[in-house]
Amino acid sequence: MGSEGRSWSGVGAAAGSGAEAKATTAVVSAAAPAEIPTSSASVDISMPLPEMSPHIIRLCKELLQGWSSLDSSCFSIETVSGGITNLLLKVSVKEDTGNESSVTVRLYGPNTDLVIDRKRELQAIPYLSAAGFGARLLGIFENGVVQSFINARTLSPADMREPRIAAEIARELHRFHQVDIPGSKEPQLWNDIFKFLKKASALKFEDTTKQERYETISFREIQDEVKELKDLSDLLHAPVVYAHNDLLSGNLMLNDLEAKLYFIDFEYGSYSYRGYDIANHFNEYAGFDCDYNLYPDKDVQYHFFRNYLQPDRPNEAHDLEALYVETNTFRLASHIYWALWALIQAKVSPIDFDYLGYFFLRYGECKKQMDSCLSLVQSFLSGLRNG
Ligand SMILES: Nc1ncnc2c1ncn2[C@@H]1O[C@H](COP(=O)(O)OP(=O)(O)OP(=O)(O)O)[C@@H](O)[C@H]1O
């Protein structure tokens, strides 16, 4: 999305580039950070869609000036996804011209504020949006946001690993990491991990089987491992960037016709280490079956690094080794982050998913990779010391 047309005009304002622009040109334009319409309304996410629809329509009419005088019969609403954390709706209206315009309405899932810093997310979205990333923010309400609808397909894990697409993701990530978000530039990774650790280590489950499984976890051991990893990674002085932190296939959309790639969903975005963002993305090569054998080998990583470091002339990229070491150190941090996240979810999420099992999977993978990752960084650091 570009920074062009920064307020909801309701009539033919220029939207962002690419397919999304096509889908929404008639009514949508991006809002400047200070101008984004807000509403104090909230919508009960547990309502069935037919019951929820009049509330959603009222909300859209309140927030989207161009739709305010439309009759409710012009609206149609469908569910795009009931993702792990949110409910995402597509709201469309038929205009007099016969064109259809669509937006998305995202309702935050219950308890998601325990793992997502909404203030941080809402602060960043307008700037990311102005730099051309994600769906444009059109309105904010008490428990969600209205955004432009992106007309593109969601990537699968296999797409993401395809060399041509991987190169495009790397180039786009290079651009993403250059966005400046006002405010503190302190990396948040370790703060977030320690916050998760504190919450995750103080849980109590009513279900006795769950409680027994939970009690097998040694938080003292995790704490020591996190500390060791933090101290070691600090020695790398890794570049800090505004990181997406959740670049899984479901957060990558591609319009094939326009060859336009979209990064979406900035819920976990924060200032962090570039190598963390890349490692977290590589961990997602594991796909829905969580097959961590699909983690990219060195050649595949270097292909990504070349396009990330030198998008215009990938073959001239240098400092690949440093990025390789950073990435494969933060690979462990990514496992720990999502392992602890899953423990908190196991307690608070209404979704019927084996989050405890996911904790053991991610933490187990971290343990498995620990020795080789730590010796990689140690030998790199001793190489630097010895000149
Ligand atoms: N603005 C958009 N336009 C069109 N489709 C979208 C848009 N945002 C998200 N989607 C689609 O909805 C899916 C779920 O996206 P969403 O960001 O809501 O996930 P989520 O609720 O955060 O779930 P999870 O926690 O699993 O990531 C995406 O994979 C994509 O297919």
pLDDT digits (tens, 9 = 90+) for 140-177: 999 999 999 999 999 999 999 999 999 999 999 999 99
Q: Is the distance from CB of 276 to CB of 269 less than 8 angstroms?
A: no
* Residue 351: C-alpha distances to residues 83, 86, 123 (Å): 10, 11, 28
Average pLDDT of 339-343? 97
Q: Is the distance from CB of 151 to CB of 264 less than 8 angstroms?
A: no
Confidence of residue 17 (pLDDT cuts 50, 70, 90): very low
Give, for ligand 1, the residue of 79, 81, 143, 255 to mutate: max count of ligand atoms closer than 8 Å to Cβ: 81
pLDDT of residue 349: 87
- Determine the 3-state secondary structure of 108 from DSSP: strand
- ipTM over cut 0.90: yes
> Which tens digit of pLDDT belongs to each residue from 49-66?
999 999 999 999 999 999
Q: Is the distance from CB of 1 to CB of 125 less than 8 angstroms?
A: no
Please state the atom number of ligand 1 nearest to the C-alpha of residue 250.
Answer: 29
Q: Is the distance from CB of 238 to CB of 257 less than 8 angstroms?
A: no
242 DSSP β-pair partners: 271
Give dist(CA 90, CA 269) in Å, integer: 23
Structure tokens at 273: 């280490």
Predicted TM-score of the model (pTM): 0.88
Query: For residue 143, what are the contacts with CB-CB under 8 A and spacing of at least 6?
Result: 42, 43, 45, 107, 108
Would you say the CB of residue 1 lies under 6 angstroms from ligand 1?
no
Q: Whose CA is nearest to atom 28 of ligand 1?
A: 250
Q: How many CB atoms lie within 10 A of CB 297?
A: 7
Would you say the CB of residue 329 lies under 6 angstroms from ligand 1?
no
Residue 3 has pLDDT above 80, yes or no: no
Give, for ligand 1, the residue of 264, 280, 281, 353 to mutate: max count of ligand atoms closer than 8 Å to Cβ: 264
Structure tokens at 90: 């597509």
Average pLDDT of 194-210? 97
- Tell me how far the alpha carbon of residue 177 lies from the centroid of ligand 1, in angstroms: 21
The β-bridge relationship of strands 240-243 and 260-263 is unpaired
CA 184 to chain centre: 20
- Determine the 3-state secondary structure of 110 from DSSP: coil
Query: For residue 323, what are the contacts with CB-CB under 8 A and spacing of at least 6?
Result: 274, 275, 278, 305, 308, 309
Please state the atom number of ligand 1 nearest to the C-alpha of residue 80.
Answer: 12
Helical ranges in the chain per DSSP H = 18-24, 49-63, 118-130, 157-161, 163-176, 189-200, 208-215, 219-234, 274-283, 298-309, 320-348, 355-385
Q: Which of 18-22, 128-132, 288-292 has the lowest mean pLDDT?
A: 18-22
Q: For the chain, what is the mean pLDDT?
A: 89
Would you say the CB of residue 80 lies under 6 angstroms from ligand 1?
yes
